Structure 1
Amino acid sequence: MTSNRFKFTIEATDGEARTGVIQMHRGEIRTPAFMPVGTAGTVKAMMPENVRSTGADILLGNTYHLMLRPTAERVAKMGGLHKFMNWERPILTDSGGFQVMSLTDLRKMTEEGVTFKSHLDGSRILLTPERSMEIQRLLDSDIVMAFDECTPFPAEYDVAKESMELSMRWAKRSREGFNIGEQHADKSALFGIVQGSTYKELRFKSIDALAEIGFDGYAVGGLAVGEGQKAMFEVLDFTMPRMIKTTPRYLMGVGKPDDIVGAVERGIDMFDCVMPTRSGRTGQAFTWGGAINMKNARHKEDERPIESACICPACKQYSRAYIHHLIRSGEILGAMLLTWHNLQFYQDLMQNLRNAIAHQNLSKYAADFRFNYNAGDIPAIL
C-alpha cells in the first residue's frame, strides 16, 4: 500500500543489497539511510542545520518521550514537530513500544494496550495502538510506526509466539487508527514491524500477517536487544528473502558500523541508533580504523585530526590533542565536536555503501571496510 506522497524506487542492486530513493512531500531519503536519533525533539549536542550538513535526510523522534514532555498536544499547538525543532525534512517516529518494554517493573500489558508509570512524575498512562497513532498524527510524523511489543531476548518459543501475535493484532488496529486521520494519511506513511524473536516460523507468520494488512514499509523489530551480531545476521538471513521486495525495509535500533554493513549486504534499507551521538558524549570517536577512546592518554600530544579525510569541523579545525583535552576537562564543546564527527562518519559510511551498490562493488567494499576497521587505529609516531 502506498500513499500519493510516498514512493520507493530501487535504483540499483548488488546481490541482496539495494540502493534507491524514498520520495516524500518533505524531501527525498536516499537509501540505504541512517537516521540520527532525536528522541525528545533534538539530536543531542547538535543543531538541526548541522545534522543536515552531515548528509542526513531524515531524523527519528520518539512517541513515548514526546507524549510525556512536552506532550503531543503541545507540539501540535506549536505547529508540529518539524516547526517545533526547526527540521524541515522527513521525520520517522518510533511508536513507543520499545521504551514501554524497558519499563519492566512499571508497566502492565493487556489486549487493550500498555499501562505504565511515567518516569517523570509517576502518573499512570495508557498507551494503545489507537493512542500511538493519534500522538504520531499530532506530531505530524512523516513515517509512522505501528504500535507493537518489542519481544525481549532471550524468549522461549511460546512467549515469543504470544508476543508476536499480540503485535500483529495491534498492527491491524494501528492500520485502522492511522486511516482515521485522512489528511495525515495522505502525506504520511505507515510501517509495520516484524516480530518473532529468533524463530523462523514466527518471523514468517509475522511477515505474512503484516503483508495481509498492508503497509508502506516494513521494519524488522526485536533485534539489537542482546542477541549478538551472529544471531542477528542469522535472523536476517532467513527473514529478508521472505519480506516484500518493493517496499523499504528498516532494521530498528542498529547499530555499530559493522552491523550496518552486514545488514545492508542482506537487503536492509534504513537504520537508526543512538550509538554515534551517545558515543560522542562519552569520548568515543568512530574512524575507518575502528572506534577510538579520545580519553586515552596517547592522544594528548597528537596533532593529527581524528580522521584526515573527514570534512566535519572536529577534523578540519581541531587536533586530537585538543579534543582529548576537552573530553578530559568535561567541556561541552568536546561532546559537540565528537558527536558531529560521529554523525559525519555514519553518513559517509552510508554514502560509500550507496556508491558501492551502484557500482556493483559492495563485496569488495565490505571486505576492505572490515579489514581496516578491525585493524585498529594507528597511533601517532611521537
Structure 2
Amino acid sequence: MSTFSFSLDATDGSARTGVIDTPRGQIRTPAFMPVGTAATVKAMMPESVAATGADILLGNTYHLMLRPTAERIAALGGLHKFMNWHKPILTDSGGFQVMSLAGLRKLTEEGVKFASHIDGSRHMLTPERSMEIQKLLGSDIVMCFDECPALPAEEKVVASSMRMSMRWAQRSRDAFGDRPGHALFGIQQGGVTQSLREESAEALKSIGFDGYAVGGLAVGEGQEAMFGVLDYAPDMLPTDKPRYLMGVGKPDDIVGAVARGIDMMDCVLPSRSGRTGQVFTRNGVVNIKNARHADDPRPLDESCTCPACSNYSRAYLHHVFRSQEMISGMLLTWHNLHYYQELMQGMRDAIAGGTFTAWQADFHAQRAKGDIEPL
C-alpha cells in the first residue's frame, strides 16, 4: 500500500504549491475541500463535485456519529463507499461542532459530554472515541480532537484551553496508532496570542504529526486579526508537512491565507451561499434574488464554464430561486464550487510560474470592479 506523503513543487514568497499523495489519489495544493457534512455536499452529486476539480472532501465526525452512526457506516463498507466518493476524505474531530451545536455540554479533562442536537440523546466524545469514530468512517486524513474556544476570549481562558488541546493531541496520537496510508493532523491553538501559538506549535512538533492545522480562527475574530495570526503561525509549523487552515472561507480570505503559507482550506460557504442565492464570481458577489436579474438574458459570468453559466440565464436563475425550486440550489452550488476550484488552480499556476504577486493584484482589481452593469 502506498503511504501518505507531501512534496512541495514551488514557492513564491510564502505561498506554496505541491502535492499530497494518498492511497486514494493525489491532492493538489493549495487545496479547497468542499464540506460534505452528513456524507453529502448539499445539492450536489459526488461526480459533480469531482467535475468541479475537487481532489478531496471533508466529512463531519459529529454529525455522522449521531446519524447514521459510524458503526453503521463501517458495516456498510466505510464512508467512501457509503457516499460514492472514491477520492480522499478528511474528517474533522467533532470538537468544533460539540462546542458550537451540542446542547448541555460538560467539558472535563477526559472529554466532552453532550446532548445530541437531533434527539437529545447523551454522548461522550473523548480523543480516544474521536479516533475510533474516524477509523470506523475510514477517512484518509484524521484530525486530532481539540477544544476550540470562541473568540474574543480572555487570554488565560485561551491558554488553558490550548494546553488541554495539546494533552488531547497526545492522547489522539496514542489512540490513532500505526495506520499505513492514513494520516493524522495536529491542530495548533492559541487564539490571537503569538506566544501561545508558539507554545502550541512546539508541543505538536514534539508529538509528531503527518500534517498540521491552524485551528481556532474564523470564529469571530475578523479578517484583520486572522491575517495577523497567519503572518506568523504557519512559519511555526514544519515546512515539509501540509498546513491546513480550518473553516476558511471567503475568496479573499483564501487568497490571503495562501499568500501566508497555507496549503489546505475548507468551508461550507460556497454550498451554503449557493442555497441562499449568493453567487461568487470573479467580479465579486452577486445576489441572484435581486430584481435587477429578472429580465437579464446574460449568464452569471460569461467566462465561467460551469453548467449554470453555460446553459442558463440570470433571469432563469433568478426565477428558480424566487420559486424555491430545487434546481436553484443545485446550479448555484455547482457554480460556487467551480469558482472556488478555479481560484485554487489559478493560484497553483501562479505560484508555479513565480507570478503570484501579480496574480493577487489582478484578483483584487477584478473583484473591485463589481458586477456587470444592469441592462
Give how far 1:243 is off: 1.4
In the alignment, the residues of structure 1 paired with residue 4 and residue 101 of structure 2 have an alpha-carbon distance, to the nearest angstrom, of: 34
In the alignment, the residues of structure 1 paired with residue 101 and residue 197 of structure 2 have an alpha-carbon distance, to the nearest angstrom, of: 25
1:111 corresponding residue in structure 2? 109
1:261 corresponding residue in structure 2? 255
In the alignment, the residues of structure 1 paired with residue 133 and residue 5 of structure 2 have an alpha-carbon distance, to the nearest angstrom, of: 24
The one of 342, 347, 355 aligned to 1:348: 342
In the alignment, the residues of structure 2 paired with residue 358 and residue 122 of structure 1 have an alpha-carbon distance, to the nearest angstrom, of: 50
1:66 corresponding residue in structure 2? 64
1:213 corresponding residue in structure 2? 207
**Could you tell me the percent identity over the aligned residues?**
67
1:316 correspondence with 2:310? yes
Code of the aligned partner of 1:202: L
1:48 corresponding residue in structure 2? 46
Taking only aligned residues, the RMSD between alpha carbons, in angstroms, comes to 1.0
1:132 correspondence with 2:169? no
Equivalent residues of 2:2, 2:23 under 8 A apart: no
1:337 correspondence with 2:331? yes
- Describe how 1:130-169 pairs up with structure 2 within 5 A: 130-169=128-167
SS in 1 for 2:232: helix
2:286 corresponding residue in structure 1? 292
- Describe how 1:270-289 pairs up with structure 2 within 5 A: 270-289=264-283
Code of the aligned partner of 2:16: R
Give how far 1:103 is off: 3.9
In the alignment, the residues of structure 1 paired with residue 146 and residue 270 of structure 2 have an alpha-carbon distance, to the nearest angstrom, of: 26
Code of the aligned partner of 1:21: V
The one of 189, 193, 204 aligned to 1:195: 189
Cα separation, partners in 2 of 1:105 and 1:40, compared to 1, 3 Å: closer
2:357 corresponding residue in structure 1? 363
Bigger shift: residues 14-23 or 101-110:
101-110
1:6 corresponding residue in structure 2? 4
In the alignment, the residues of structure 1 paired with residue 364 and residue 372 of structure 2 have an alpha-carbon distance, to the nearest angstrom, of: 16
Code of the aligned partner of 2:262: I
Code of the aligned partner of 2:78: G
Code of the aligned partner of 1:247: K
The one of 291, 294, 299 aligned to 1:305: 299
What are the ranges of 5 or more consecutive residues in structure 2 without an aligned counterpart? none
The one of 90, 100, 103 aligned to 1:102: 100
SS in 2 for 1:298: helix
What are the ranges of 5 or more consecutive residues in structure 1 without an aligned counterpart? none
The one of 214, 222, 225 aligned to 1:231: 225
Equivalent residues of 2:271, 2:333 under 8 A apart: yes
Equivalent residues of 2:102, 2:116 under 8 A apart: no
In the alignment, the residues of structure 2 paired with residue 115 and residue 104 of structure 1 have an alpha-carbon distance, to the nearest angstrom, of: 9
Q: Return the TM-score normalized by structure 1.
A: 0.97
Equivalent residues of 1:151, 1:196 under 8 A apart: no
Give how far 1:371 is off: 1.5
2:246 corresponding residue in structure 1? 252
1:21 correspondence with 2:19? yes
Code of the aligned partner of 2:175: G
Deviations 1:149-192 (A, max 9, x none): 0121011110000000000000000000100xx4xx11200000
Code of the aligned partner of 1:45: A
Code of the aligned partner of 1:59: L
Equivalent residues of 1:10, 1:18 under 8 A apart: yes
Q: Return the TM-score normalized by structure 2.
A: 0.99
Equivalent residues of 2:25, 2:88 under 8 A apart: yes
1:243 correspondence with 2:241? no
Code of the aligned partner of 1:290: G
Bigger shift: residues 351-360 or 369-378:
369-378
Deviations 1:234-287 (A, max 9, x none): 001121222111000000000000000000000000000000000000001111
SS in 1 for 2:233: helix
The one of 356, 370, 374 aligned to 1:376: 370
In the alignment, the residues of structure 1 paired with residue 15 and residue 257 of structure 2 have an alpha-carbon distance, to the nearest angstrom, of: 9
In the alignment, the residues of structure 1 paired with residue 339 and residue 351 of structure 2 have an alpha-carbon distance, to the nearest angstrom, of: 18
In the alignment, the residues of structure 2 paired with residue 72 and residue 350 of structure 1 have an alpha-carbon distance, to the nearest angstrom, of: 32
In the alignment, the residues of structure 1 paired with residue 354 and residue 70 of structure 2 have an alpha-carbon distance, to the nearest angstrom, of: 44
In the alignment, the residues of structure 2 paired with residue 283 and residue 249 of structure 1 have an alpha-carbon distance, to the nearest angstrom, of: 32
SS in 2 for 1:44: coil
In the alignment, the residues of structure 2 paired with residue 206 and residue 266 of structure 1 have an alpha-carbon distance, to the nearest angstrom, of: 19
Code of the aligned partner of 2:55: D
Equivalent residues of 1:151, 1:195 under 8 A apart: no
Q: How many pairs were matched up?
A: 375
Equivalent residues of 2:15, 2:259 under 8 A apart: yes
SS in 1 for 2:351: helix
Code of the aligned partner of 2:163: E
Equivalent residues of 2:243, 2:263 under 8 A apart: yes
1:328 correspondence with 2:322? yes
Equivalent residues of 1:290, 1:376 under 8 A apart: yes
Ranges of 4+ aligned residues in structure 1 off by more than 6 Å: none
